[in-house]
Chains A and B, each alone.
Chain A
Amino acid sequence: MATTPILQLVQGFLGLVSSRHELITANMANIDTPGYRTQDIDFRSELHRAMDNGGPAMTPVSHAVSGLLQRPDGNDVNLDREGLLLAETQMQYQIGVQVVRSEFHRLLSAINEGK
């Protein structure tokens, strides 16, 4: 259980980002699997859901991404898309972690009476 509201929000955010990271690694792993369709989550709506629940997100719903070029074997994993998203989720995760750290520092400075 998170101690402050900010920590609770960030917990939901980090959970969602790591779920998305897992989907991206799965997409990358299946780059040569015939018939595999790229999977992703709707980040915006899932984030809203996590915020409304006020805590860690429930298992996010993944769906096949439409509009990607399909190769003859039915696989539509796009290397550039996955590479960019991998970098993006990494940064987002770093943001979340930094917020958690600064929140703990804030708590610590309150405990130390601002010293």
Chain B
Amino acid sequence: MSLFSTLEISGSALAAERARADIVAANLANAETTHTAEGGPFRRKMAVFSGSGTTAFRLLLAGYNRLAVRTPGAVRLVQVAEDTTAPVVRYEPGHPDANPSGFVAYPNINPIQEMVDLMGAVRAYQLNASAVTASKQMIQQSLDILK
């Protein structure tokens, strides 16, 4: 346990939240994408976070010693899940991706939902950035003992 490991933990959260914001940006950018490499319309992506111990050594120690409580730590993006809701179909017979009956499948993306998710990611990023500032200040105070 040291103040430097808190920077590591906050850093992992910053990276995870940034990845979440990236995913939201991709969802918004592809709101009208009807054509993908996998075929069919773009599917909305969702970030799945998971907590983990800070270091492999600490996890190993917790495994050997049943009394040791596994300390919570860094967070990471473990999976980018796909939304399974059905695409929205619009009648556009002239569209190149239209099916024989003239319907085109569009991604089921709700801009409001995406913006709320983006705001959540931004706020969480700010929160962790302020935790980094606090940790930095505490480390700086320790260094000032030497003065």
Residues of B within 8 A of A62 (CB): 69, 71-72
> Could you tell me the distance between the alpha carbons of A36 and B133 in the complex, rounded to whole angstroms?
24
Chain B residues in 8 Å Cβ range of A90: 134, 137-138
Which of the segments B94-102, B105-113, B120-128 contacts the partner chain?
B120-128
Give how many A-B residue pairs fall within 8 Å (CB-CB).
106
* Nearest CB of B to A114, in Å: 22
User: Which residues of chain A come closer than 8 Å to B137, judged between CB atoms?
Assistant: 90
B3 near A18 with CB under 8 A, answer yes
State which size class the interface on B falls in. 35 or more
Minimal beta-carbon separation of A53 from chain B (angstroms): 16
How far does the alpha carbon of A62 sit from the alpha carbon of B70 in the complex, in Å? 8
Minimal beta-carbon separation of B46 from chain A (angstroms): 11
Contacts from A to B (Cβ < 8 Å): 15, 18-19, 21-34, 36, 39, 59, 61-63, 79, 82-83, 86-87, 89-90, 93-94, 97, 100-101, 104
Question: 27 pairs across A/B with beta carbons < 8 Å?
Answer: A18-B2, A21-B134, A22-B71, A25-B135, A26-B51, A26-B71, A27-B72, A28-B10, A29-B73, A29-B74, A29-B75, A31-B13, A31-B124, A32-B17, A32-B75, A33-B49, A36-B51, A36-B72, A61-B69, A62-B69, A79-B127, A82-B127, A86-B131, A90-B134, A94-B141, A97-B145, A100-B145
The interface of chain B, by Cβ under 8 A from chain A, is: 1-3, 5-6, 9-10, 12-13, 16-17, 20, 48-51, 68-69, 71-75, 120, 124, 127-128, 130-131, 134-135, 137-138, 141-142, 144-145
